[in-house]
Structure 1
Amino acid sequence: MNYQELANNIKLWAKELGFQKVGICDVDLSQHEAALEQWLEAGYHGSMDWMARHGVMRARPDELHPGTIRVISARMDYLPPKAGFASNLKDPNQAYISRYALGRDYHKLIRNQLKKLGQKIEEEVEQLGYRPFVDSAPILERPLAEKAGLGWTGKHSLLLDKNAGSWFFLGELLVDIPLPVDTPVENQCGKCTACVSSCPTNAILENGVIDARRCISYLTIENSDIIPEEFRSLMGNRIYGCDDCQLVCPWNREAEITQQADFHRRSSLGNSDLISLFSWDESTFLKNMEGSAIRRIGYIQWLRNLSIAMGNAPHSEAIISALQARLGLDENLDIHIQWAIKQQSLVITSNRKEQRLIRIIEKGLPRDA
């Protein structure tokens, strides 16, 4: 078997399956184990117990899938056209949803394409053991992608590519054949700290180290409990995830628009008015979010996030009435609604940091975004 030729073919097949870039690496992530243990010991994972449960196994792909000696790391771009970055952030009456979640949930789509890639490889070799993963297993996907030459890890802990920025998903195909490995690329962040200074909640502690407990993406998605009051006003109108660290990154200015129509903004999110979204009953939420990553947070958490945004919006009797109408639905939700009602009389529509961020975004938006 000519494994170099096979590796070249794998990259061609991957592009035919919709991936923009593919790299190959070995399974040695031992240099990341100490940092992972320190991060967990510091409690930076918050309530994500599943991260601590598997511990350093995340740095050992061969334990996850015995026999694995290579990882094929693949990238699929997701930046949707007409993403409405600045317009959504600028208008506090509109909900801001992380760009990756505007369309269809990426997990099944990418996993299916990785499975097809595995099947294609299997046709070329006598025997192949493989297993695809897309955020579905305890594995350090970004260190693997970095090792496979797909980019470097930015100060915000996301993977960066000089041509694609960070607007992409990652997936891995674990295989048991000795493919030639690719060369990592040089970190090109230099002295830039735009992502660090732009984080609304100061969640980026040092190069690549994130305190998830402070991160708006964690607070709105992974945390199903009460959001600490110290972070609520800082969340602004961000109701699902946060893109701030990506929006100010210079490498994202020339990012390509996704080739996947499934990642375009879904029609049910065409109207991002806070009151309109808050008016959905549970059946409407489930119907409108069918096939969306947003659906997994559930209806109550959806209302919780919206109520905080409504508390941060300019004073409105309509907002207060909408909030009051939801009281009594859930005990934890009531805490956030009551805060929002109180905040309505105190709200400041924007602060200097928010306005500075918007100005930076408007100067350097990706094409067609």
Structure 2
Amino acid sequence: MQKPYQALPSFLKALLVLVFIIVLVFFLIVGKSLLIPLFMGGFFAILFTPLNNWLEQKKIPRTLASFLSLLLMILIVGGLLSFIIGNVAAFTNDFDDVSGRVSNYANQVDDWTQSTFGMDYEIRKKANVEYFREILDEHSSSISNFALKTVGSLSGVVLIPVFMFFLVLYRDHLTKMMIMIYRDRDPTLVKMRITSLRKVIQHYIVGVGKVMLILALLNVTAYTALGIKHAIFFGVLGAILNIIPYVGPFFGVLLPVVYSFLTKDSLFYPVAILVAYQLIQLVEGNFLTPKIVGGNVNLNAFITFLGLLIGGTIWGVAGMILIIPTLAILREIFDLTEETKPFAFLLGEEKAKPKKPKPKDEKDQD
């Protein structure tokens, strides 16, 4: 006689979930150097899949099409990194007169404290300009090290294109594996959901790219109008950092503000940069992102903010960049089965309830 099925107690289920989370976080930390390149390669593979499909439609073999997509990705990313590193390394050439400017600011502060409080703090004597210059030299030359830390290591830089190539090459094989995992469901439906998931991520990445391009144009225009040197670099860097919600815009405006403070004769320029950047962010938040990116990700604000904190803690800058599309993928996967739909609901934005139409009697009274 078969024993009746007994459900696990609630406290035991909660304990199992807690243990799973601990094991998962441990796995993410230990496997950081391998998982970061794998995730980045996966997102590049999703982004370049339409190009690969188009090349295959032109009777180009899949292996060659995958290699061409890989080559294009390397050229784009390599060119962008070279542009950023070259501009940052050239910053020290613009700080020849920093000593005089810092001394001037220190004298102004000393004069103000003397006239206001009757005390001279002698800030002009404490301003160690040479130390400040050493910091600039050190950080401008270590931008490549920062890029390496973002992807984990030098091996991670090599693994990203390798993972991308194989994920694009074996994308049909991976789709068949997912169909086998959900074999209790209609294979056509599972394939449609996988295709839909890939399109969601593609639309998100392409939408973010369009927003970044528009932001770069707006930033460059504003900085050029203000007469800020390296306007193209500051505009592009601010647009790239905007991919990190909440945190990115702050760091995107910090560098041009500090640069203008040290190289311009008036405080008008740092203040003007802050005002212009804030106006651009208002346009981005209220018009560009809702219209272009739209609801492709559909994550609520709390999960987004919590995900940024967790991603930044575990994987640093790379985690903050990868966490949003990763959560969007998880939400779509959770939505495949009834057992995991509550988790999809937790990650997603709650839909507004439609307004009920008024009864005819009430309409007549109005």
Query: How high is the TM-score relative to the length of structure 2?
Result: 0.26
Which has the higher Rg, Structure 1 or Structure 2?
A: 2
Query: How high is the TM-score relative to the length of structure 1?
Result: 0.26
Greater helix share, structure number: 2
| Larger RCO, structure (CA 8 Å, separation 6 or more) | 1
Greater strand share, structure number: 1
